[in-house]
Amino acid sequence: MKMKLAEIAKAINVKNDISALQGVEVSSVAFDSRNLDDGALFVPLNGEQDGHKFVASAFENGAAASLWASDHAVGDDSQPLLVVDDPLAALQELASYYLCKINPIVVAVTGSNGKTTTKDMIASILSTQMNVTKTFENFNNEIGVPVTLLNMDPNTEAVVVEMGMDHFGELDALSRLATPDIAVITMIGEAHIEFFGSRDKIADAKMEIVNGLKEDGTLVFNGDEPLLTERTASIVQDKLEFGRQLNNDIYATSVNATAYSLEFVTNAWPDETFQVPMMGEYNVTNALAALSVGKLMHISVKNMHRALSSPDITRNRTEWIKGSAGEQILSDVYNSNPTAVKEVVNVFSKAETAGKRIVVLGDMLELGEQSNDFHRDLSEVFDPEKINEVYLIGPHMKALYDALVEDYGEHVHYFATEEKAKMTVELGALITDKDIVAIKASHGLHLETVLDALTS
């Protein structure tokens, strides 16, 4: 992104006179004053604190200019400020303007599970033949999506935008902002059921991604999910279904899965065996979604094969890491929900090891009144013959502990949230170089600190 302040001011209806600043140029957008590049446009947002408190710090750290809300008194008018009614709305307006200016192909990705991995796979595939920008980590909300768009290089030919939501209306707004050429729905699960009450309502919310889909766009969705096939029947845009069932447009005809990698063949390219260096058959479905987009974008099968064999995957998504004791750690500490936990534990139970299989789980958040039931139901994938030690942390994981303690006895361990340090010490004392460890939790538990301790 490179734009003069005069162009930005015109795009977002700036309220103050910036004639003296028209020569100033910005090269990026940031909302964290501690982490920005020289020449950035700082956007003061309201979170736990008012972002206007950090405008001075942003300038000290190299910001070229800052937005400023009109309902805040301007303290230092010598600073290059752009006064607007609402900095967040202005950020989104500027993103829409810049998107039209660059005019890339837009691929929007949502889903209860797998959207980050699918986004990464799609970007890897498209990057073999195009200049591609993708959502950084999980910048997938009303702030992250416009920041992704504004940080596109001017030569971007395709942008892959992850879109998350936990309330009705959020995907509608994001879709209308990004106006995708291709919209992808990976699956419908229980994530955020606290806010929706049922999977049916979650499916309704996920379908909002179609609201901004271009008239000549394509909806790519998981055809194995009846909740989606019902709701997509009335969609007028083109549709392409992927999944494991034979009724899909693209499906896997054979799968060979290990704890470390996948191989599969599809009906679309029956002579090609795709390889993915990731665990879990659920990642075959994510790969099928990515291949569907690649097919729509006319990416050669050779390039798609190459991309999937070494995709650029966001950290801490079912990633194998070597621990400081020599153990292998399966890290998946960024997000968690019942479907994902069961899949990970099932695959981990089959991973070969000369030592113990140790599972560390933290609470799955945003599951509402059914939370304890969802946690308790995880017990169905635990077998003491396969999973040797279980460490659980968080108030809702107490329900799983109660369900496992009869079979596991002293080999299941429960910790309150504030006992994370104690759990980390006990884990460190138990683990040997022959063991394998799986760590999974919602990000709110911050088990990345446990991972850091075990790998440093």
Q: How far apart are CA 115 and CA 140, in angstroms?
A: 10
Provide the 8-state DSSP code for 368: G
| Integer Cα distance of 332 and 22 in angstroms | 47
User: How far is the CA of 80 from the CAs of 44, 66, 306, in angstroms?
Assistant: 14, 7, 47
CA distance 437 to 353: 10
The separation between the first and the last C-alpha atoms of the chain, rounded to the nearest angstrom, is: 37
Would you state the torsion angle of the CA atoms of residues 65, 71, 74, 77, taken in this order, to the nearest 10 degrees?
Answer: 50
Contact assessment for residue 330 and residue 320, using Cβ atoms and an 8 Å cutoff:
yes
| Residue 73 structure tokens | 């008194």
Residue 111 annotated as part of some ligand binding site: yes
In whole angstroms, what is the distance from residue 108 CA to residue 293 CA?
11
- 455 has binding-site annotation: no
Instruction: Count Cα neighbours of 320 within 13 Å in the Cβ-side half-sphere.
Output: 16
Taking the C-alpha atoms of residue 151 and residue 29, their distance in angstroms, rounded to an integer, is 7
Burial of residue 218 (number of CB atoms within 10 Å: 0-12, 13-18, 19+): buried
257 forms beta bridges with 262
- State the Cα–Cα distance between residues 271 and 249, nearest whole angstrom: 17
What are the structure tokens assigned to 88, written together? 């967040």
The reply to whether 326 sits in an annotated binding site is no
**Residue 394 labelled as part of a binding site:** no
Other CB atoms within 10 A of residue 352 CB: 9
User: 114 a known binding residue?
Assistant: yes
What length is written for the chain?
456
Counting Cα atoms < 13 Å in the Cβ hemisphere of 78 gives: 1
What phi and psi, each to the nearest 5 degrees, are found at residue 412?
-115, 135
The total of other beta-carbon atoms located within 10 Å of residue 137's CB is 12
Report the alpha-carbon distance of residue 437 to residue 106 in Å, rounded.
Answer: 38
If you ran DSSP here, which 8-state letter would residue 314 be given?
P
| DSSP three-state, residue 354 | coil
Annotated binding site: 111-117
- Per the annotation, binding residues for ATP are 111-117
